[in-house]
Chain A
Amino acid sequence: MDEDKGMFNVQQTIGTVLCCRCGIKMQPNAANMCVRCLRSEVDITEGLQKHVVISHCPECDCYLQPPKTWLKAQWESKELLTFCVKRLKNLNKVRLIHAEFVWTEPHSKRIKVRVTIQKEVLNGAVLEQAYVVEYVQQDHMCESCSRVAANPDQWVASVQLRQHVSHRRTFFYLEQLILKHDAAVKAIKIKQMDQGIDFFFGNRSHAVKFLEFLGSVVPTKSRDDKQLVSHDVKSSNYNYKYTFSVQISPVCREDLICLPQRLSSSLGNIGPLVVCTKVTNSIALLDPFTLRHCHLDSDQYWRHGFKSLLTSRQLVEYIVLDIEIPSPPMEAKIGGVRYLLADAQVARVSDFGRNDNIFFVRTHLGHLLNPGDHALGYDLYAANSNDSELEKYKNLVLPEVVLIKKSYEEARLRKRGKPRKYKLKHLEMEVDDRARVDEEKERSDYEQFQRDIEENPELRFNLSLYRNKEYQEESDAGSMADDAAAPLEELLADLVLLDESDEEEDEGMRE
């Protein structure tokens, strides 16, 4: 600036003076003492804490910040450093420049932090000094750990999930959904019961959150109750145990349902026999003969509370002898799936070749079936149904067969025993000893569930599939009906979406 005005500035070289104490040459500073003399004279760490006691919970690796907060921090992490510096009193009188850990043996229960501070001394000279603070780590269990240790089964809220059907397919599907959305991370314990699962939580709000998640994926009806455990008279604190009882609708996919008269007429006279195509938080029903569909909300369903006429256990295998598509083809696209009405000639596999029982039926699977295919359907001809709703219909003519889906049994025979391309994760569940669990039945149910997800891409949408390392490509795999199995592309696509750190998955991705 001065140069601009044309002023001539003499260059100033600072001379050296002698330090007033030790006499060494130094640059003049505000105190006119060399740094060593200044440091020996003035100790800016005077009055600061050098020794602090902190409480540490060995169970959950948390540190106590009084009065009540427990901070989770790893050994020698940034959070621990921040916590240690915060615990130093009087540090606001000096300026903190730097803090770092000094290595100590982890089992010594000592943490050492080197703190560098700056403070003004004498006449304006700012002195910087580093000193070491020692923290003694005392072990003290935090309240939550001590509560858990005292009574490991202590829960505050429980969600009892039940579905009164004879199979567990819904629970397998739910298990995968829960894993994908991490809905049960906060559960203390999960117990498998007869016809259901119990979830135990430490907090009522966790249970409520889980309940809401369930309500969004399956049609449910719930009620809640509470039980008084203890109460403090003086402070009027009441401790309760909350129980949420959740019932899932017994209607499942591929079930055949006979709608009650009132419901049928309110839905626009949809044929009393309907097939359930999809169950999410609402039930999708399809009339297989007219291709009319409707959705039933959770509330709507529970107002009527009807049960299925026939469930998928009662599916019988048929051979399709002939398919005829009527000339104006009646097709519909419902929920992303194409259906085509067709007339079919079918015979039961058990009858095939033995006698001449042939049935002429109308089916909605015209787009899938070709002569010679196998299909699964309900045998109403031979069924003896004990349904009050059905009896209420006076002039109902029951069809003999209702075809539900195509069967891939032959293709599956080839693959039997070989590992699948994908894997599924499992929830950790305790199995109640008192529940009568049939191992064989459960295994076949699970197999059926896996087949279901292989065949239905829409079902797979919500789940996470992991690549199976043990699977090897077979040479004749290409000859298999490709739409029957979950294609590799879809598996990989699933893998990319996930950010779970599954070791095998990572290796799979690297491959």
Chain B
Amino acid sequence: MATRLQFENNCEVGVFSKLTNAYCLVAIGGSESFYSIYEYELADVIPVVKTSIAGTRIIGRACAGNKNGLLVPHTTTDQELQHLRNSLPDSVVVQRIDERLNALGNHIACNDHVALAHTDLDRKTEELIADVLGVEVFRTTIAGNILVGTYCALSNRGGMVHPHTSIEELDELSTLLQVPLVAGTVNRGSDLIAAGMTVNDWTAFCGSDTTATELSVIENVFKLRKAQPSAIVDEMRKSLIDSYV
């Protein structure tokens, strides 16, 4: 089920939070309303951790992770790193990486099996991603944009990309990612998909400007209608491109 919310009157919830199948990170806001919504949805299932990265609140864009691990930029302070290590489950490996492009959330889009990476990432970083997150890494662009982390929101069941993506590109990415993809928008026509929403296998959180149409598209592609928070099963899927009538 998709939920609409705002962080301090701002609809870009993907900037201020990071949601995976094993944990959820939220930024420290002035009021507790943001945190309480996440807590309400997820508290029984996964830990919801309040944190900051490099002293900032834009944690969603600064770090990248999945159920296997979490990558944080080199600007993260030691205290933050320690706090994360303490709060997150032991199965999650928290790793600080030394990468010039330190807004990892903008450069890496990943789910539990596969990741898309910015074309200019270091070779070492790529290896680290493969190791820590346990994924297969593909360097690609989306609709001519190199910031794949911003323009693509990915879960194990589906993905949404920039609205200007051509059909051939959707085909190609879908084959790589082995999930159904759709080109869509969030937050009333904004094309910054991953900045406007955050998603995992059974739930999604979108900015409150998101229209009913966009919400229905999101729920359809990520298969949130009947989803239950259960153990994620590894499956091979056929690549599909959904088209909505």
Which of A's residues lie within 8 Å of B, judged by CB? 10-15, 17-23, 25, 28, 31-33, 122
Contacts and interface: CB of A to CB of B under 8 A. Distances in A.
26 contacts: A12-B166, A12-B168, A12-B169, A13-B167, A14-B166, A15-B166, A15-B183, A17-B163, A17-B184, A17-B185, A18-B184, A18-B217, A20-B185, A20-B188, A20-B189, A20-B214, A21-B213, A23-B216, A28-B163, A28-B164, A28-B183, A31-B189, A32-B163, A32-B191, A33-B188, A33-B189
A25 B184 CA distance: 11
Contact of A32 (B165, B185, B216): B185
Given A31-B189, A33-B188, A33-B189, 8 more contacts: A11-B168, A18-B244, A20-B189, A21-B213, A25-B244, A28-B183, A32-B185, A32-B189
Contacts of B166: 12-15
B170 interface: yes
Interface string B31-42: 000000000000
Nearest to A13: B167
Interface residues of B, number: 22
Contacts of A13: 166-168
Contacts of A122: 189
Contact of A23 (B170, B183, B188, B213): B213
Contacts of B183: 15, 17, 28
Contact of A19 (B168, B190, B213): B213
B211 interface: yes
B121 to A, nearest CB: 24
Interface centre among B163, B165, B190, B217 (most CB of A within 10 A): B163
A31 B211 CA distance: 14
**6 A-B pairs with least C-beta separation:** A32-B189, A23-B213, A12-B166, A28-B163, A32-B185, A17-B163
Please indicate which of the listed interface residues B166, B170, B216 has the most CB atoms of chain A within 10 Å of its own CB.
Answer: B166
A93 B185 CA distance: 30
A229 B216 CA distance: 86
B20 to A, nearest CB: 27
A14 B143 CA distance: 10
A114 B165 CA distance: 38
Contacts of B213: 18-23
A166 B163 CA distance: 98
Interface centre among B167, B185, B189, B244 (most CB of A within 10 A): B189
Contacts of A10: 168
A20 B168 contact: no
Contacts of B191: 32
Contacts of B244: 18, 25
Residue with the highest number of chain B CB atoms closer than 10 Å, among A14, A19, A20? A20
Contacts of A20: 185, 188-189, 211, 213-214
Contacts of B185: 17, 20, 32
Contacts of B217: 18
Contacts of A19: 213
Interface in B92-144: none
B41 to A, nearest CB: 24
Nearest to B212: A23
A33 B164 CA distance: 13
B186 to A, nearest CB: 8
Contacts of B169: 12
A18 B213 CA distance: 7
Interface string B13-35: 00000000000000000000000
Given A20-B211, A28-B164, A32-B163, A15 B170 contact: yes
A7 to B, nearest CB: 15
- Specify which of A18, A21, A25, A33 lies most central, judged by the most chain B CB atoms within 10 Å of its CB: A18
Contacts of B167: 13-15
B164 A14 contact: yes
A53 B167 CA distance: 54
A220 to B, nearest CB: 82
Nearest to B144: A12
Interface in B174-198: 183-185, 188-191
A478 B164 CA distance: 91
B98 to A, nearest CB: 35
B242 to A, nearest CB: 11
A235 B126 CA distance: 87
